[in-house]
A and B are shown apart, each in its own frame.
Chain A
């Protein structure tokens, strides 16, 4: 199974600022996914990041608010821009397991609190 690390593990930020979350995988993967897990809510897919192309965003999420970089096959970043308290959430990256198209391995998450 893939080992995924995320930095930071948690942060407290002031509204109006931006935070960049890093996701590192111990093997090369074509696809990486970014999710948001709000308190009491489902995991919601923000975007799919493929190396060498622009990220594909889900409905309700835009690049200006959540810019994503994917410089190589083992690394990605998600930036939460111009934060508001509503952005307080856990942000998770994941990668396909490689065994099937739909099973995923998840990172430990980044717990963000915006004050």
Chain B
């Protein structure tokens, strides 16, 4: 069974602070995605990374895929209350399967 471990599980910070969330596995993934989920809603895709070492930026969010395609990180600069939510990483197995394996998520709270 392929597992994705996310850390930290909970994070509470003040507006304007920076933070990094990690997603690690012992398995290699053909792609890795980050989703954000808000209460009462389904996860919404933020980004997909597919190439080892790839870095993608989405406004104040920076996503990185590890060189060995076993881990990823999400860095948020100058966090805002609107960034509050559950951040989930999800991996697609080798071969580009449609099936996704999800981490448990990082629950982020940004206090004004």
Contact = CB atoms under 8 A, between A and B. Distances in A.
Nearest to A35: B102
B104 A45 contact: no
A108 B40 contact: yes
Interface string B22-43: 0000000011010100001111
Interface stretch (B13-21, B53-61, B74-82, B91-99): B91-99
A67 interface: no
A83 interface: no
A101 B104 CA distance: 22
Chain A interface size band reads 20 to 34
A102 B45 contact: no
Contacts of A112: none
Nearest to B104: A42
A101 B100 contact: no
A105 B33 CA distance: 12
Nearest to B9: A40
A89 to B, nearest CB: 14
A42 B102 contact: yes
A108 B42 contact: yes
A48 B99 contact: yes
Contacts of A96: 98
Given A42-B104, A43-B102, A101 B97 contact: yes
Nearest to A9: B40
A43 B98 contact: no
B42 A97 contact: no
B98 A109 contact: no
Contact of B99 (A4, A40, A45, A107): A45
Nearest to B45: A103
Interface of A: 4, 9, 31, 33, 40-45, 48, 92, 94, 96-97, 100-109, 111
6 contacts: A42-B101, A42-B103, A45-B99, A103-B45, A103-B48, A108-B41
